Amino acid sequence: MSGFDDAKRILIVDDEPAMHDSYKRSFAPQRGESEDALDTMAAELFGDDAPDSVEQTAEFALTHMLQGLDAVAAVEAALAAGTPYSVAFIDVRMPPGIDGRETAMRIRALDPEINLVIVTGYSDFSPIEISKVAGPADKIFYIAKPFEVAEIVQTATALAKRWEVDRELAATRAMLDRQVIQLQEQGAELAANESLAIHMATHDSLTDAPNRLAFLRALADRVKREGMFATAMIDLDRFKTVNDTLGHLAGDALIRDICATLQATAPDGAVVARLGGDEFGILFDTPGDQAAVMACDRIVAACAGTRQVFGNSVQSGASAGVVVVEGGCDPIDAMRRADLALNDAKRNGRGIARLFDESMDEGIRFRRRIENGLGGAIEKGELSLVYQPIVSRDSIEIVGFEALVRWNTQEYGPISPAVFIPIAEESNIIHELGDWILAQALEVLKQWPGQYVSVNFSPRQFRRHNFVGHIMQSVQHAGIEPARLQIEITETAIFDDADRAADTLYKLRQMGFRIALDDFGTGYSSLYNIRKFALDSLKIDRSFIDGMGRERESAAIVHSIIHLGHALGLEVIAEGVETEAQVQSLRIAGASHLQGYFFSRPVPAEQALALATQRFIGGEEIAIVPEAATGTEG
């Protein structure tokens, strides 16, 4: 029987020998005259032997049983040998042994996969009664006696094939179940590894406290919520002496001890982080300055005293600087102010906590002067716009100009946009300033023969209520087609609220405005973000252009951005182009547009009109002349 597929193994159970003969004839292959002659010769030579209980045919291996108990035993033996039956044909009435119903029930109990065919001319049981004990219903069938040969063979063939398919499906399901379990185990292992990696990346290896990265994240999250909170910087006093006299192991032990003290004495819910060396940061909510200073006083007092380190008595102490700010502030600036207060504490005797005040920061005083000056700059006529051409790669045709603001103060002289724009961005002055820049640029644009003007919008402007309506109203008032205004935004403007930004950009594009993503490659961009937002062009940051000739990394970044732009159907504008070598490299790389001192410095409106009318910039290099107003291109 080893030569037969398991699916062809058929069990026949009937108490009448004549029925077994019928089954044999039904399953017997068609034979020719020559085969019959050979059988006759074999019988004359060897005689007729009694048939074996198992008869092999060309298609099936048949096992014949006269009683139900014998059939049950045969099924059990076949399962044990690993050669189960696919189909069993069972008679209902088989005196004196168990009947077909009982036989079917016992076989089903042994082998849930076997297909059962009840064959009888009459029955003491209804099909429903047999199905209840020998089901499921899709594995039990009925054939009436007397049966046709074709009926038996077709049933056996179909059920054997089905049995084979069922086993294959079961094996596949089992394999898939094992793979699912394996994937789940691998997923759990990866999650555990990821959790460990995140913990290691955000925690100090010496103290297991949050590290600088985790502290900055906590601070960035806290500034998004309303209410006052304190940022404190703690530094150990004379820690270097411990390292120098007792060694770094003793210093490490002291750091761990102090960290435990800070965690025990900090206000409830505080984040205590080791920022590096002997410096710690503490972030906690507070009702005001006085409560924050009292909390820091308790921390400083807890750090002071004698500690035992490796059997040595060590005098420990700490100084603290703290600043209390409202939600919505700049997290880096909060740390900077706390650090200034800490420096003041160390200058004034150590072992104390100092609250930040603006007298500690010359930068803040300068910032206030800038804010006050910007407020009246428009009325005083101190602001102006200059325009830098954007040219096509091959023909050097001027297709547009970027509008750049300049501020020349009566008191301090020229102030760089890199200084006053961030200050304006932190206050509502940016809206007044931005409206003036847009109105001036659109007024100048009217005189150009067809170029567009590119205007920078800060993140705060972009998040302005009804930003789209405001821009549309501005171009309509100026009588300018939206397609002649390019809106330049940075990655920061769209990253904070990607869904809202995507909706805003989509509306602007639908109205016909051009959209450029400025300083691309320096922020948070991902391929997902670029695909999500409606853009016309990417502007490669000038730092990468400047580094192309010196750093392979910068050249690789530039090539990658250009290829990405091509793949997404976007223009790619290279800023800060200053040399012939850069021009040739960018042309070869495939940048669609170029901008920089090599072609023209930013020029006043009158010169911009002349260049726009001229349309093309000659092949000779234009001298790089710094602007008298600011000494900067941006």
Average pLDDT, the chain: 86
One-character DSSP codes across 422-441: HHHHTSTHHHHHHHHHHHHH
Reported as a single tens digit per residue, the pLDDT across 157-167 is: 999 999 999 88
Per-residue pLDDT, 529: 62
Task: Choose among 365, 322, 318: nearest CA to 340.
Answer: 322
Q: Are 20 and 72 in contact (CB under 8 A)?
A: no
Q: How many Å apart are CA 623 and CA 249, to the nearest integer?
A: 61
Per-residue pLDDT, 123: 60
Contacts of 276 (CB under 8 A, 6+ apart): 211, 212
Cis peptide before 146 (omega within 30 of 0): yes
Q: In the CATH hierarchy, which top-level class contains the domain 212-360? A: alpha beta
Q: Are 490 and 448 in contact (CB under 8 A)?
A: no
What's 128-181 look like in SS3? HHHHHHHCCHHHEEEEECCCCHHHHHHHHHHHHHHHHHHHHHHHHHHHHHHHHH
Other C-beta atoms lying within 10 Å of the C-beta of residue 346: 16
Cis peptide before 602 (omega within 30 of 0): no
Residue type, 87: V
Residue type, 207: T
Q: 483 is written with which tokens?
A: 């397609």
Phi, psi of 569 (to 5 degrees): 70, 30
Reported as a single tens digit per residue, the pLDDT across 491-544 is: 777 766 778 888 999 999 999 999 999 877 665 555 556 777 889 999 998 888
Each domain of the chain, given as residue ranges in start order, spans 6-170, 212-360, 365-614
**Residue position matching structure tokens 């990655």:** 491
Task: Choose among 127, 122, 121: nearest CA to 146.
Answer: 121
Which of helix, strand or coil describes residue 531? helix
Reported as a single tens digit per residue, the pLDDT across 446-467 is: 999 999 999 999 988 998 889 9
Reported as a single tens digit per residue, the pLDDT across 403-425 is: 999 999 888 889 999 889 988 88
Task: Please state whether beta strands 279-285 and 87-90 pair in parallel, antiparallel, or not at all (unpaired).
Answer: unpaired
Q: How many Å apart are CA 606 and CA 454, to the nearest integer?
A: 17
∠ CA(108), CA(88), CA(95), 5° rounding? 85
Q: Above 90 in pLDDT, residue 617?
A: no
210 DSSP β-pair partners: 203
Q: Are 410 and 380 in contact (CB under 8 A)?
A: yes
Per-residue pLDDT, 53: 47
Question: DSSP character for 49?
Answer: P
Reported as a single tens digit per residue, the pLDDT across 99-143 is: 888 999 999 999 999 999 988 876 666 777 777 877 787 888 888
Q: Above 60 in pLDDT, residue 215?
A: yes
Q: Above 50 in pLDDT, residue 298?
A: yes
Q: How many Å apart are CA 474 and CA 486, to the nearest integer?
A: 13
The third-level CATH classification (topology) of the domain covering 365-614 is: TIM Barrel (3.20.20)
Per-residue pLDDT, 146: 82
Q: How many Å apart are CA 455 and CA 277, to the nearest integer?
A: 45
Q: How many Å apart are CA 516 and CA 399, to the nearest integer?
A: 14
Contacts of 92 (CB under 8 A, 6+ apart): 99, 100, 101, 118, 120, 122, 123, 124, 125
Phi-psi region of 280 (alpha: psi -120 to 50; beta: other; left: phi over 0): beta
Torsion over CA: 207, 208, 211, 215 (sign): negative
Q: Above 60 in pLDDT, residue 30?
A: no
Q: How many Å apart are CA 551 and CA 574, to the nearest integer?
A: 17
Mean pLDDT of 10-17: 93
Distance of CA 326 to the CA centre of its chain: 32
Highest mean pLDDT of the ranges 44-48, 172-176, 221-225, 292-296: 292-296
Phi-psi region of 14 (alpha: psi -120 to 50; beta: other; left: phi over 0): beta
Which of helix, strand or coil describes residue 307? strand
Q: Are 140 and 131 in contact (CB under 8 A)?
A: yes
Q: 140 is written with which tokens?
A: 């039990």
Report yes or no on whether pTM surpasses 0.85: no
Q: Are 562 and 572 in contact (CB under 8 A)?
A: yes
Reported as a single tens digit per residue, the pLDDT across 352-382 is: 999 998 888 776 777 778 888 888 888 888 9
Q: Above 70 in pLDDT, residue 631?
A: no
Q: How many Å apart are CA 296 and CA 196, to the nearest integer?
A: 32
Distance of CA 557 to the CA centre of its chain: 22
The third-level CATH classification (topology) of the domain covering 6-170 is: Rossmann fold (3.40.50)
